[in-house]
Amino acid sequence: MQFIDLAAQYKHLKQRIDQRIQTVLDHGNYIMGPEVEELEIKLAEYVGVKHCISCANGTDALQLAMMVLDIKPGDAVFCPTFTFFATAEVVAYAGATPVFVDSDERTFNICPKDLERRIQQVIAEGKLTPRAIIAVDLFGLPANYLELEKIAAKYNLKLIEDAAQGFGGEINGKRAGSFGDMATTSFFPAKPLGCYGDGGAVFTNSDEYAALFRSYRVHGKGKDKYDNVRIGVNSRLDTLQAAILLEKLAEFPQELVNRNRLAALYSTQLTGNYLKPHIPQGYTSSWAQYTLVSDNRDAIMASCKEQGVPTMIYYGTCMHQQTAFSALGYTDADFPTASKLAKQVFSIPMHPYMAEASFVSVLEALAKSGVEIQ
């Protein structure tokens, strides 16, 4: 059994994807070909924002956001400690200081209360200028943007949604990618909407930000790439990846239905001594991961492995525990919830093409894995 079965998805879409790839090979516009713009228009439409600008990967999307907001040394950018490294990495790469925030214990997303406390702390210390918040839609569940947008407005901070995992999620019908001042996503193959290599995109309703994103992604271009009006990067989405994504996006709504059906089955039929995902009222997850919490994680995972069921840990190391951020001087006591989650979370197989037999195997493996059945 695969943890995420990309081959099953390809088998389902093979004819359409192969044809799209052949079309690109025939026209030969490998860089910024017509599929790139077609995809950007369709992605913006799907998310419900004015502009989508594609780029080379989800980390670049975040880095471009730092560039567009002119994040620089002396600035503080608040982000969760319980996330993938890239979220905090881009802040430090811009020369600014990431200020880590603890997690909500039921959603695992950034805790608005702890966020406000840390903003006030940075203001009181007077050393850094609070500039922005990067919220992450962890495991597919949008962060608490209703609260986060209020906090951002109160302290005059920009709000960035890192929707690398949340693409396809919703709050009261509003889609992930549409929250805050700008949002980023990743098309890494294992993400809810993935391509066959690296890819990413940013979303915004601001014409001004959109123009800056388009310039920064191609060497700070002015009227063309040989007219350079600012220092930028080279971060374009390949035409081939855009072509593949067009077919995957067409199938994506059905895949989300499948993921949610599978998640609902897990949530009703898993009966062990662990905490299951909590989806607040009005929220929809894109189920990038189905993650359980147990203080007996290692034994459960070992037993599942023995029974041929793959499980994974996302994430075993918080940002404040990373060697690269050790100079910031945090301890686990600063982040009690996230530090505990890092020791207790594990994710079980979740993808839109999971067969009934695999689902049953996962249930059986977990039931047999020494977990006390309630």
Ligand X SMILES: *Cc1c(COP(=O)(O)O)cnc(C)c1O
Whole-number Å distance between alpha carbons of 45 and 40: 8
Stretch of 113-121, 157-165, 242-250, 272-280 lying at the interface with ligand X (CB under 6 A) = 157-165
Stretch of 56-64, 97-105, 215-223, 272-280 lying at the interface with ligand X (CB under 6 A) = 56-64
Our CB check for ligand X shows the closer of 186 and 215 to be 186
Question: Active site residue: 42, 150, 191, 223, which one?
Answer: 191
Instruction: Report if residue 200 touches ligand X, rule: CB under 6 A.
Output: yes
**Helix, strand or coil, per DSSP, at residue 15:** helix
What is the 8-class DSSP label of residue 321? G
Minimal distance, residue 165 CB to ligand X, in Å: 5
Instruction: Report if residue 84 touches ligand X, rule: CB under 6 A.
Output: yes
Our CB check for ligand X shows the closer of 235 and 358 to be 235
Q: Of how many residues is the chain composed?
A: 374
Whole-number Å distance between alpha carbons of 167 and 181: 16
- 135 phi, psi to nearest 5 deg: -100, 145
Instruction: Report if residue 215 touches ligand X, rule: CB under 6 A.
Output: no
Clarify whether 225 is annotated catalytic.
no
Whole-number Å distance between alpha carbons of 6 and 167: 17
202 token code pair: 């940013």
Minimal distance, residue 229 CB to ligand X, in Å: 26
Nearest residue to ligand X by CB is 58
Binding mask 9-48 for ligand X (x = CB under 6 A): ----------------------------------------
Of 260, 254, 350, 362, nearest to 303 by C-alpha is 362
Contacts of 61 (CB under 8 A, 6+ apart): 55, 184, 185, 186, 200, 201, 202
Instruction: Report if residue 294 touches ligand X, rule: CB under 6 A.
Output: no
Of 318, 316, 346, nearest to 332 by C-alpha is 318
Stretch of 82-90, 91-99, 266-274, 297-305 lying at the interface with ligand X (CB under 6 A) = 82-90
Interacting residue with ligand X among 9, 54, 57, 63 (CB under 6 A): 57
Interacting residue with ligand X among 162, 170, 247, 334 (CB under 6 A): 162
**Based on the number of CB atoms within 10 Å of its own CB, is 313 exposed (0-12), middle (13-18) or buried (19 or more)?**
middle
Minimal distance, residue 93 CB to ligand X, in Å: 12
Instruction: Report if residue 58 touches ligand X, rule: CB under 6 A.
Output: yes
**Based on the number of CB atoms within 10 Å of its own CB, is 144 exposed (0-12), middle (13-18) or buried (19 or more)?**
buried
Q: Which residues bind ligand X (CB under 6 A)?
A: 57-59, 83-84, 86-87, 136, 162, 164-165, 186, 188, 198, 200
Active-site residue set: 191
